[in-house]
Each structure stands twice: as structure tokens, then as C-alpha cells.
Chains A and B, each alone.
Chain A
């Protein structure tokens, strides 16, 4: 099955502790992480770090949808990062959309994971996301259809690499239960490739 080409560049920004530009097909997102850093008074948590996430679309002000992505990515990062190692501090994760051709959410999640890995912050496991599309012709594919109006439903699955469990699932549109299961299996298979890609990029960094 045809799948989007993954590419990535680590450490593209000098200010954040970790940064990555991640591309899934044409979709591109820049992620940066600061952490652990000083925390604001109202956000102090006594026994762990407070994970903050901000997502920025490339044009216009962030809307409700963007806030939804923010909270999704914040939740994923919170489960994956060892926040309890850094009490009374903050971890800031920022995402910037560069280009969207459909897989924006999964691309942002993968970028966030690579940024975390590059910063060297402690993590329990890696997380990788896959987007599946259900087209109007009831075909499930990993490639986005050429025109956006052909998308009937969109599934985003996030897996961990340790146990292969599903961490998060985000869906848009209408679909049947079988279709969801089919997409889930497809996503699970593809997530293995995503993790292989992660490992390759990280090894590439260490060797040079």
C-alpha cells in the first residue's frame, strides 16, 4: 500500500532544548520543547512537572480546533514524559504548522516526539502517530485524497513503542465499526515503520 514519505530534520532551532521539523508527505510541522524550566505560580504542581502545549496555525488566530489539537498533544506528552522527575517545574511544547496536506495532527504528534527525544528529557516510551483516511469510495488509505472534499472520515491513532498499546485515537467524520477496526489495524502496522524511521533518524544523529 502506498504510504506517505517521512522525513525529518532535528535541531533546526537553536533556542529550544529540543526541536524537530517533521514531514509526513507534504505536511510539515516544526516542534520545539523547553524543559524543565521555571513554572508560573498558578501552574505549579507539587509532585510533577506541568506539561504545557501550544499549537500555532500558520495563518489566522488559533481557533477551537487548534485548542483541541493542543489538548490532545498535551495529554499524549503528559503520559509519555517522566513528569514526576521534575516537580515544581514546567515543560513547554510548541508546535508550528508549516504546511498542511491532510495529516496535520499525526505529523504534529510525531514532531513533538522527536523534539522530546532530541532534547534528552526522560520519557517512558516513544509515541508515534498514523493518519488513515476513509474516502468517499469507502476505501481506507494512508495517503490523503487529492481533494479534501473526498475525505469521508479521518482517523489518527497514536501508539507507544514499548508495548505497542494505543495511547490516543482521534476521529473526524462518520464511519462504521468495521471500518474503524480496519483502520486501526492498518495504523498499527504502519506505526512500526514510524518507529523504525524514528530510530534511524536518532542513530543518524549520534553517528555524525
Chain B
């Protein structure tokens, strides 16, 4: 009851307006149906601190680590905890420090995306079996809720994990020494693959499918389709849906995920370069650099210019179809999804046919698979080169192995360089 205080209610006329516009192939903010909002990734000065905006939705993620005793069921694995906080800054009905249905749901979806898919190699976080492992804590603070928190949070989470570096630990048999960042170069996490969530909202029982819903669209939609790519898996809620539509949307999501992951990798690489150059980093630099943003929402501008837009709609349609064709072509080259497994009422899993390690994903309700069917196709000692790795498909992994050797050499050179500088 209390959580409904201050919550904005979507009126019937808003709903009708939105649906009517969709029938005319327009969205309120002028995007095409399969167009996503712009992603911006900024890193803070601390390792693993990442500020992501997806349009106007903004999220801050921070990874921190400490040494803990491992779980007795998994004595050789590190621990990853994901904690999403709906900060009251994001929307007035969010309450500080209290779990709501939304936060629990988002938390679980992110856990599925990052933890259950084993994106982070937890075994490399083990210091001593049964006694000491690194426990990672991923804190995600939602700062501005303008729809599609999940996509934004998953991008921030992944970027923060890929950016984070833990302190080095050495052991002399008895004692463990944790080296500070200054004493020894910190070690990045091993990211085995890069899963991101891609959300589509569904209107009128599958008639309209919108990518990256904004707040109003999110409130009106009768279902969501969330994909987390890499281990292609979808959930489908509350609505009967045709199989071909699911396939089509998943394919689109796959190509989108690729661009998102590329963006994250580029951002991290850029940050690493700047750190090597010893450029002063941090949010304060970003604030100084950018001119003051216009505080008026895009939406209101869009609505002000409504009549103008309407006339242009013919041209837009052409663009849209062209774009779609492109995307579909791209997809047919990249991922082929064919099988659908029913998991229960209202949910289904998509299994990629072409990958031979097909069972990379296990349905979450069959968690008794302790024998680790997970195919770990990355060789173990790649710790230092994660951010360059690309674990899309098996073919690409071959490339990684080569890249790995190369980068190792390069790194050796770098190290000697650093040594000489130090001396």
C-alpha cells in the first residue's frame, strides 16, 4: 500500500494516445520501433566504478571486493553478489533501503544474466580452497528512472565488472599478503562472455513490439520480452505470442547485443589507454568537459513539434524498413536461433542450434547440475587479457587464442618498460 504513494498513474487517455500512435507507426520520442536510445558509458577514478546512461535513464555501478570464506557447496569458487538499489532520486515512489517487487525482480533478472550464465569466472577468485575466496559485491544505484532500468543496469553491471581490478594476493604457504594497488598491479576479473539484457515491450498482444521502452511505454505495455544474449535465453511474460515473432525479436536482440558489447569493450579500452597515459580521470573531468545539458526533456520537445513530425512520417517509414532489412541481414549472418523449449506456463527458452556446446544454459529450475556441464572454452591462464577477449562463438574463440599469445608478449614488453621506468 505504502509504495503506491507518489506513484504516477498512467491515465486511460495517455494509454489510448500511445496505442493510437503506435498504429500510425510513431513513438512518442520519435524513435523507430526497433531503435534504441543512445548509450553513454563513463568510468570513475576508482576501479569498477561506472556511470551509464541509456537515453535519460541513468545508473551508477560499483564493484567492490573482500576476502571471505567460500560457500561449503562450492569450496573453490569466489562469490558474486549483485545488489540493485532503486534510489529515491530516480523516482519519488522509490523508497531508500526497502525492497520492492520491482527491485527484487530486477535483482533476480540481473543475477540470471550475470551469475547464472557464469559470465565471471568465479574459480579464478579462489585464494585457498575451503578457506579464502574473493567475494565481489556489485552495487547498482538507479539514479534516473525513465524506463528500461534493466538494460541500463545490465550494461553498467557488465562494464563495471569488466573494468574492475582486484588487488593481488600472494602466499608464502602460511600467510596471505594482500598487495595494495600501489605495490603491485591489480588484476582484472576473468570475464568468460559478455551477456547483456535487451528489453522489448509488447503491445496489444504482440501487435506492436518496441525496443527499449521509455517510461510511459513501459507502464502501458502488456508484456515485456527480455533477452540476455550470449547464452540466448528469453523470458516471455503474460501473453500468448507467435513463435516466429519470438524468433524474429530474438534475432534482432542478438545483433543489438553485439553492438552494445562492442561499445562496452571500446569504452573500457579507451579508459585503459587514458590510464596508461596518466591522464587525470574521474567524474569531475567529465563535468568540466561537457557543456550544460538542456534540462527540458526530449519528450516535451517531441510533443511540441508533433505536427511537424507527422508530415515527415512517410520518409521515416522508408528509413525504418531499410533499417530493418539491414538488421535482419546482419542477424542472418550472425546468430541462428531455432529451437524453443517450453519451461512452463508463460515461459520459454530459446536454444541456439548452431553452437555445439548447446547446453551452455541450464534452465534455472534444474539447478542440481553440480557436474558443471558448462563448457569452459577459454584456457585458464588468461587473467591479464580479459578486456580484449571476445567470447561470442566458438569460431571467435580461436581468434582469442591467437590474440592471447600476442597480447601476452606485448604485456611482457610493457612490464619491462614499466620496470625500467621504476628503476
A114 to chain B, nearest CB (A): 12
A10 interface contact, C-beta 8 A = yes
- Please pick, from A28, A38, A94, the residue contacting B88 in the complex, using a CB distance under 8 A: A94
Contact partners of B282 in chain A: CB under 8 A = 26, 28, 99
Contact partners of A5 in chain B: CB under 8 A = 284
Taking a contact as CB atoms under 8 Å apart, the answer to whether B45 and A21 are in contact is no
Q: How far is the CA of A98 from the CA of B88 in the complex (A)?
A: 16
Contact A11-B91, Cβ < 8 Å, known A21-B287, A56-B141: no
Contact partners of B90 in chain A: CB under 8 A = 15
Contact partners of B137 in chain A: CB under 8 A = 59-60
Taking a contact as CB atoms under 8 Å apart, the answer to whether A26 and B5 are in contact is no
Q: How far is the CA of A25 from the CA of B49 in the complex (A)?
A: 18
B61 to chain A, nearest CB (A): 9
Q: How far is the CA of A61 from the CA of B5 in the complex (A)?
A: 24
Number of residues on chain A facing chain B (CB within 8 A): 43
- With both beta carbons as reference points, the residue of chain B lying nearest to A99 in the complex is identified as B44
A7 interface contact, C-beta 8 A = yes
- Please pick, from A9, A30, A58, the residue contacting B89 in the complex, using a CB distance under 8 A: A30
Interface of B is mostly: loop
Query: Quick one: which of B52-85 are within 8 Å of A by CB?
Result: 56, 58, 60, 62-64, 85
**From A5, A26, A98, A118, residue with most partner B Cβ within 10 Å:** A98
Q: How far is the CA of A19 from the CA of B92 in the complex (A)?
A: 13
Contact A9-B290, Cβ < 8 Å, known A16-B89, A37-B6, A58-B60: yes
Q: How far is the CA of A118 from the CA of B293 in the complex (A)?
A: 13
B222 interface contact, C-beta 8 A = no
Contact A9-B97, Cβ < 8 Å, known A26-B282, A92-B88: no
Taking a contact as CB atoms under 8 Å apart, the answer to whether B6 and A38 are in contact is yes
- Please pick, from B92, B141, B292, the residue contacting A34 in the complex, using a CB distance under 8 A: B92
B60 to chain A, nearest CB (A): 6
Contact A38-B292, Cβ < 8 Å, known A13-B144, A56-B85: no
A164 interface contact, C-beta 8 A = no
Taking a contact as CB atoms under 8 Å apart, the answer to whether A15 and B44 are in contact is no
Taking a contact as CB atoms under 8 Å apart, the answer to whether B64 and A204 are in contact is no
A154 interface contact, C-beta 8 A = no
A1 interface contact, C-beta 8 A = no
Number of residues on chain B facing chain A (CB within 8 A): 40
Per-residue contact bits, chain A 44-60, to B (CB 8 Å; 1 contact, 0 not): 00000000001010111
Contact A7-B284, Cβ < 8 Å, known A92-B92, A96-B143: yes
Per-residue contact bits, chain B 16-49, to A (CB 8 Å; 1 contact, 0 not): 0000000000000000000000000000111001
- With both beta carbons as reference points, the residue of chain A lying nearest to B65 in the complex is identified as A59
B379 interface contact, C-beta 8 A = no
**From A9, A13, A19, A61, residue with most partner B Cβ within 10 Å:** A13
Q: Which residues of A contact B (CB under 8 A)?
A: 5, 7-16, 19, 21, 23, 25-28, 30-32, 34, 37-38, 40, 54, 56, 58-62, 92, 94-96, 98-99, 101, 118, 204-205, 208
Q: Which residues of B contact A (CB under 8 A)?
A: 2, 5-6, 44-46, 49, 51, 56, 58, 60, 62-64, 85, 87-92, 96-97, 137, 139, 141, 143-146, 282-284, 287-288, 290, 292-293, 295, 297
* Extra contacts besides A15-B144, A92-B88, A92-B92 (14): CB < 8 Å: A10-B295, A23-B284, A23-B287, A28-B44, A28-B282, A32-B143, A56-B85, A56-B141, A58-B62, A59-B139, A94-B88, A94-B89, A94-B96, A98-B51
A-B complex: 7 closest residue pairs judged by Cβ atoms: A11-B295, A23-B284, A94-B89, A32-B89, A54-B96, A28-B283, A59-B64
